[in-house]
Structure 1
C-alpha cells in the first residue's frame, strides 16, 4: 500500500505520524507543504471540499496529518492507515 500524507514538519502530530509510517514500513509520499505552495493548494482543495474536515474547520484546526489512499479516500487517523496497510499485506 502507498499512501499520500499531507502535513508539515512544524506539526508534532505530523512528525509522529511520519515516524510511525517509517517504523511500520508503509510506503508514503509526504506532501510537506510548509515550503511548497503547490502542496498546500492541493491540501486546501481537499480540506475545503471533503466533509471529513467539517469538525476540523468548525474547531479552527488545520487538519493534518491527512492521509489519502490510492482509492482517493481520506483519513485523519494514523491508526487507520496502519490497519489498512496490515490488511493489505
Structure 2
C-alpha cells in the first residue's frame, strides 16, 4: 500500500508495528476498539494493512482498494 500512496504523491505517516512494543500496542488499541475492525476481531485476524484518515479506520483490501480510497477521500493535492 505504501507503493500506491507514494506513486500518487500522497503524504502519509507509515508506522511499522514491528519496530517497537509501543507502536504495536497503539495499533492493537485501534484494532481492538474500532467498530470498523469488529469483523476482523471476530475472525481472529490481524487487520493489516490498516489506514486511519480523520479518525476513520479503514481496512485496506489491496492496491485497487487503496486507489479507490485516494479518490474517495480526495487525498491527492491539486
Q: Following superposition, which runs of at least 4 residues in structure 1 exceed 4 angstroms of deviation?
A: none
| Secondary structure of 1:32's aligned partner | coil
Q: Equivalent residue for 1:27?
A: 11
Counterparts of 2:68 and 2:38, CA distance in 1: 19
Q: TM-score, normalised by structure 1?
A: 0.69
User: Does the 8 A contact of 1:63 with 1:76 survive in 2?
Assistant: yes
Q: Equivalent residue for 1:4?
A: none
Q: Equivalent residue for 1:55?
A: 39
- If asked which structure has higher relative contact order (CA below 8 Å, sep 6+), I would say 1
Number of corresponding residues: 71
- Taking only aligned residues, the RMSD between alpha carbons, in angstroms, comes to 1.6
- Point out the structure with the larger strand share: 1
C-alpha distance 24-64 of structure 1, shift in aligned 2 (>3 A): same
Question: How far 1:55 moved relative to its partner?
Answer: 1.0
Where structure 2 has 5 or more consecutive residues not aligned to the other structure, the ranges are 61-65
